[in-house]
């Protein structure tokens, strides 16, 4: 999955803002939802981002976006934590969470499975390696609607 031009610009504008707040940018999404455009910026830090972190980044980033004006249409800015069930999509995301359980949703079934939880074994050149029950599966990332960390209590 690649960033759109706007998402990439916002990511670059947000990085120094986040760094000065002691957090990092996990992801950026710019989507049309109904009649509204939403700019979502997900942040993270060791131990998890707090509401105060989100507020600090939101206020500073809002000012920065007003100065740079990379989005010509009206939109709402949302800054939130990447969350426990964070989406994995960059190679570094997958490599950081090898050995963890992930929830996988596929566009079309593979071996009869469309949604399942599996152990993340690895990632190489766009292919995610998983252990589902006792079986090893190779899932091309572009065949997955989402791969997120599983929240297990």
Please determine whether the domains at 5-81 and 91-149 fall in the same fold group of CATH: no
pLDDT number for residue 1: 55
Q: Which CATH architecture has domain 5-81?
A: 2-Layer Sandwich (3.30)
pLDDT digits (tens, 9 = 90+) for 101-120: 999 999 999 989 999 999 99
pLDDT digits (tens, 9 = 90+) for 131-148: 999 999 999 999 999 999
Give residue limits of the domains in the chain. Answer: 5-81, 91-149
Query: Is the pLDDT at 152 greater than 90, yes or no?
Result: no
| pTM of the shown model | 0.79
Domain at 91-149, CATH homologous superfamily: Ribosome maturation factor RimP, C-terminal domain (2.30.30.180)
Q: For all residues of the chain together, what is the average pLDDT?
A: 93
pLDDT band of 88, cuts 50, 70, 90: very high
pLDDT digits (tens, 9 = 90+) for 15-40: 999 999 999 999 999 999 999 999 99
In this structure, the number of other CB atoms found within 10 A of the CB of residue 22 comes to 13
The span from the CA of 79 to the CA of 51, in Å, is 9
């Amino acid at each position: 999955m690649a960033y759109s031009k706007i998402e990439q610009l916002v990511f670059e504008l947000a990085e120094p803002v986040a760094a000065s707040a002691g957090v990092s940018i996990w992801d950026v999404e710019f989507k049309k939802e109904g009649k509204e455009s939403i700019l979502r910026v997900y942040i993270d830090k060791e131990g998890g981002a707090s509401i105060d972190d989100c507020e600090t980044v939101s206020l500073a980033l809002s000012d920065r976006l007003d100065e740079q004006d990379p989005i010509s249409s009206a939109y709402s800015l949302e800054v939130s934590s990447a969350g426990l069930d964070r989406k994995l999509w960059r190679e570094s995301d997958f490599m950081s969470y090898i050995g963890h359980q992930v929830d996988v949703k596929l566009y079309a079934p593979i071996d009869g499975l469309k949604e399942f939880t599996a152990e993340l074994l690895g990632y190489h050149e766009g292919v995610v390696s998983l252990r589902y029950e006792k079986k090893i599966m190779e899932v091309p990332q572009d065949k997955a609607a989402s791969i997120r960390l599983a929240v297990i209590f």
